[in-house]
Structure formats: C-alpha cells, structure tokens
Amino acid sequence: MTGTAPTLPEELLLLALDPVSGKPYCRGGFLEYGVAGAVLAELELQGRIAEERGRVVVVNPLDPPDPLLAVFLRSLPPPGKSRLGSGISARRWVRQSGRRAEGLYLDALVERGVLRRESRRFLGLFPLHRHPAGPASPAEQVRQRFEESRAAGFPDRGSRLLAALAAAVELPSVVKQGDRRTRAAVRSLAREEWPAQAVHRNVRQDKAAAAGGGDGGGGGGGD
C-alpha cells in the first residue's frame, strides 16, 4: 500500500471484496457496519478510545497519525462532553457512521491504487459501484495472513478483532469454513469483542426488520 501495515478497516474491506468482480462477499449494508466497527477497533488498539458498558469513551483525544482515523476520533464526544454520560453508544455510532466510514475508506483505497472503481447505473437510474483489486492491492497478502492467524488460533488481539468483525458481517469465508468447532469459535469472537458486538447487533436488527417486512436501515439504532 504505502509501506505501512493496513489498518483494520482496510484489512476488512480487502477480505470482504472479491478482487476480480469488486463485489462484496457479504451484504453491502453489513459491510458498512463492519467498517465502522473496524474503525473503533483500530482506535482502541492505538489507545485512543475504550469501551465502558457498551459506550465508546475517548481516553486520548490527540489525533492519530492516520488522517481517516483522526477524522473519526474527532466525531466521537470529547471526554466529559456527552449529554447522556460518558461517551456514545457503540451500537448507535456504528449504525450512524457506517456508510460514511465505508465511503471514505473506499475513496482512499482507490486514490492509492489499492482498489479500482467501476461504476454503472442499475436499471439505468441508480449508480452502482464495484471495487476490484488495483495494481497496488495487498489483498492476497491480507488473506494469507488471515489464514495463518486462523490456523494459529488468532493469537493476537488484532487478528482476533479482524476475525470477530468478519464474523459479525457474516463473511462466508470466515463463518462457513472449517470444522464445527472452528466456526463456533469465530462466531463467539463476534460476541466477545465489543466493536464486533456493536456490528453484530446492527446486523441482527436489519435481519429482523427484513424478516418482519420493515426497514432495518437508517440512523436511529437506539442504545
């Protein structure tokens, strides 16, 4: 990419997008939530935020070096500034920020040549974008590292978070591969790691709304 290791939002996108067709392997709305959850996971790994009873609390408001992470850190309530107590609901933030997070990260990856953008109009009316691998894509290396981490039982926090987020968005290569014990272990990560849990709860909400004929999208979400 640029000689630096990809962040969790970038890794999740590279795992979730077919490098040839550019289509996501999972539902697009789920991936939006996943990218937002990956932003929170990366900010926590870098010591910028923490989780307290389902709420995201900023513990270090100084901008991280990564400009996109800095944008999203500034979108969180500063310490002691929330009207409803400390921080903001992780579930709500993921729902409200998903589309923006995915869009900004896709734009950045296209600009760096990691992804390409192919656009057309669905039914001649609605814009439809696909993001196949670009000339600078490390997608194969990301997938290889993921499989090596899976074989080793996801030995570090970063690999566990990535696996949890991939399971939360129901990425088939994660939730449908391996024996029953492996699949169950990966699904359990989505409930154990709080950023992935926030994603998983939004995914479940959308699925329940779809099953009931309602609209699962939108910016509400609740706490």
Residue 220 confidence (pLDDT): 43
The token duo for 213 is: 């004929």
- Cβ contact 72:39 at 8 Å: yes
Residue 215 confidence (pLDDT): 53
Residue 85 confidence (pLDDT): 60
E strands present in 34-187: 49-52, 55-58, 88-89, 118-122, 126-130
Residue 219 confidence (pLDDT): 45
Q: Rounded to 5 degrees, what angle do the CA atoms 178, 30, 63 make? A: 105
Distance CA 113, CA 53 (A): 39
Distance CA 102, CA 12 (A): 10
Matching residue, tokens 């699925």: 207
Low-confidence stretches of the chain (pLDDT beneath 50): 2, 218-223
Q: Rounded to 5 degrees, what angle do the CA atoms 65, 4, 104 make? A: 60
Q: Which helix (H) or strand (E) holds 98?
A: helix 90-111
Residue 81 confidence (pLDDT): 58
Nearest CA among 130, 145, 171 for reference residue 35? 171
Residue 100 confidence (pLDDT): 97
What does the pLDDT look like over 24-69, one tens digit per residue?
A: 999 889 999 999 999 999 999 999 999 999 999 999 999 999 999 9
Residue 222 confidence (pLDDT): 42
